[in-house]
Amino acid sequence: MQLLSSQISGFIDKSSWIRKMFESGIALKKQYGADAVCDFSLGNPDVPAPAMVGEILGNLAKDAAAPFTFGYMPNGGFPWARQIIADLVKKEQDVEISADDAILTCGAAGAMNAFFRAVMEPGDEVLAVAPFFVEYGFYASNHQAVFRTVMSEPDTFALDIDAIDAAITPKTRALIINSPNNPTGAVYTKEELTALVAVLEKHTKANNRPVYLISDEPYRFLAFDGVDVPSILPLYDYAIVMSSFSKNLSMAGERVGYIAVTPRMEERQQLINGLMLTNRILGFVNPPVVGQHMLKAALEAQVDPAIYERRRDAMAKVLSDAGYDFHLPKGAFYFFPKAPGGDDVAFCSRLMEEKILAVPGSGFGGPGYFRLTFCVDEEVIQRSADGFKRAISGF
């Protein structure tokens, strides 16, 4: 009996790499004990949330008995929470935005779904720069859009502006960029973004229809070596920022995120009204109450990026001592090295024999590479060194 739609059955197969690694990880840990396995497969931040998050929860507990503490609210979130987002975005993006230009969502994932639901006509295209966060394709097809990708520059993973220009069609409704990037660790420069915007402006004008630029930024806080993460909202009339507190406050499970629209967009209230409706009718109804209270901590404290920078350096040493070919990540918490021998799936299987869990780049539209996450303790990184050496020696 066919219980699932053919589309979802197909998606389950398509998303099998991360799932497979997750399941293999559970099996390996069961067999050898969690301490024997070096699990670099999941981007689930292990650094605890800042202490201030706990304090805010304590304060909220005092109000728990009051009516409506956990009640419904306007679909875009509490007005005071929208103001917090506006203040944050103003600081990060250097634009004058008001609480009316931002809404709270259920994570960046919920933000993207609400956005696509609000702007896509059936058959419209969403273009993403590959390698890419694998969920983008599913989110696009949730809303009848066709998902397409365009490769970044080999090795550096910088934007390939000519390739993006060539990939845009009259059906392209949105381009997604993600900087700092999952899975490559790339951070786009102001020059790249300015060139990108010129291309988008050209197509928007030619088709008399906006090509939205979605900047997915949950890793904005995590750039290394003093690298600047340029703001996108001041650059383009149809720029949208989506982000969340999943990574910078280690609150991935609490599902609180946001969308902010550039004040350059003259008729943005129309878009915001649409987003409020889609946030509601997709079944989110409104963003989580507790998460909104917790994000008060965002302006005060976030996870110390130095912890991740130390881990990045430790992992870079492990990989270069073993002879891997990789581009040092400028941000986020991922390495995306070349798979020795070129077959990423075969190489990840070889790593698994060493009890090292990595995800084949094919799962991110980047075959020939593999992804390692460094949201694990430094001890795990050090412990993996011999396994990485043994694995590469046979390839």
Contact 220, 92 (CB under 8 A): yes
H helix count then E strand count, the chain:
14, 12
Question: How is residue 169 written in tokens?
Answer: 């069609």
CB-wise, 116 or 133, nearer to ligand PLP?
133
Q: How many residues does the chain have?
A: 395
End-to-end CA gap in the chain? 44
CA proximity to 222, closest of 76, 63, 92: 92
Residues that bind ligand PLP (CB under 6 A): 43, 107-109, 133, 178, 182, 216, 218, 244, 246, 252, 257
- The secondary structure of 65-112 as a DSSP string is TSTTTTS---TT--HHHHHHHHHHHHHHH-----GGGEEEESHHHHHH
Q: How far apart are CA 318 and CA 311, in angstroms?
A: 10
**Reduced to 3 states, what is the DSSP secondary structure of residue 225?**
coil
Q: How far apart are CA 292 and CA 384, in angstroms?
A: 38
Residue carrying structure tokens 């070129």: 342
Q: How far apart are CA 238 and CA 199, in angstroms?
A: 13
CA proximity to 364, closest of 24, 9, 13, 14: 14
Q: How far apart are CA 294 and CA 286, in angstroms?
A: 16
Strand duo 172-178 + 212-216: pairing = parallel
Contact 88, 231 (CB under 8 A): no
